[in-house]
Structure 1
């Protein structure tokens, strides 16, 4: 739960924001625009809290999905006896997880947390957002996941699969059959067959090459190798985030959601700016089954503009703070994730996406981050060459699970 001072500051700012924006709509002035920008900075200051709540909520759901999978293992025939090692390990994990989830972070038993970390990789082979780095060593895992969550929230929202070959193939239904009516003794003819295709997601290589002097390695009073590993992980995360939005796809890059032409779009209703009607239309254009779990994706500049939008008939603001209730902030009642690589609002751009991200996008991990030191190549120049590698890919797997907002009147 956010502290009382933060809640009070946000709610007071929100009330002042609404008063100022309402006044600015009646008599436009540079002074009022400047005041709105200042209040927006107050919201931005606390936006991290909302984003953390959103990601925690998603991660808790992913953990619960893992827990359900383990319960299935524990309840299988032949695994119920206490002498069965797999059942015993699963039950220990269940008990530790239950104790951890029932306590606040400061009161959790370190032994339970250690057991969960150790058993997760051994017991769980899953495709959800928390499985991206199960094969990495524990210290590497914490660093990389921290960076990915901060810089690339799509990994915490999308489906993540670990693969043992160069690509992931997924069958996809591309055509439906049909049904008809017939009389009691009328001949039944074929009404049409469903059709199936295959999606393939490659895991091309990312790399980072870093040169460090031998003397720096010798004289540094901290773990320089760990620092380089963290920096490489951060750069991989930045690259992954960029490609997931605008990558070219295929066997060279991840496919970007803005590159994929199969994802439908809704017009904003104006040639150069956001409108409340356009946002509302986008919300309702996504099928209900996906909208239930959908989140908005947009950058911070766009978010600042969304905060000013109101429904035409009711005057209700589309954006609402959730900090007072310990919940994520919302747009039209749905959560959102800041995505730095989404474009700004401009004519014919696609600055906002509304999607069920787990259905829309898949990330495939073939090789997690590895770091090797080469003391030979640069030895004559007093250099040590560090090479970091990672094999990861991804793309759109179910285009109808998301929609984009296009800034255009028609």
Structure 2
């Protein structure tokens, strides 16, 4: 038996306990929980076969009462000795995609980000389109290209049309970008024809992950009218390997910024689901941005309510993301198209002037949030390196 030592100040203490999928050697993925620098095997810790599954989905489908019960059992069990075979240093395991992604929707919930892009793309016009403050704008992404942190990102190819060119050309994206986001994982779904109200958010959402929604801005600019993002987004979306339970974020809940005009009734109420999450974006190991999630205009509860208001079903493993997180200051912008103002204001990264991503570049996004009694809740990292086009 092993007594697990928690390092001082660890963001993975008993108030966090994020879930993930891990494997050792040639073994199949199993469910683990992170405690300090240790991955604890839950099937062995709790003697429960649901945690021997190759994904979190079977456990998430059991619903919020079961999530709460298991969380209490884990917190009690890690206080004492843990079976030796259940204990693995995190540096010695392989981490996998934590969920089988059912559907993926990406929103556009930051007023600062939306306004910046409006100023870039529609100079002289109102930066926000007429619908933006009435509903959480989003698009339906591609679940099959959601990948776990550490997966290489092959530079996408497609059509692009530079200003001044008469006709489009085909080739690798020359304006490859990132979007620093927070994603939310549906655990308990809903039936076709039902709606999930804002007040029911915590009954359906299991937890949160970090998201990097890679974006090929030149492909996107040519294709997005009139139906929105497609090939400029669908080639890859990276997520962190740890799912932070919604219960771990109670101390991080904050009011939303004031919403004017008041949203329609189906988007009102449900308690405060603004979240005080601080992100950090590193480009080749140098911090270039600190996006603050607390600045987001639309809450994840409103996103889920809007996503299902037409009767669309939600499924276990659905992932919906916030869209780029940006604050009012330049150093708080969560996409490089904003940070470099469309490439016209290069920034210095490791002594080099940069605008968009080059082959070999690596981006790492990390985040923490307030926990109980002054503790911090860690999300870990979502990391991706750009590989040449094929």
Q: State TM-score, norm by structure 1.
A: 0.22
More helix by share: 1
Q: State TM-score, norm by structure 2.
A: 0.23
More strand by share: 2
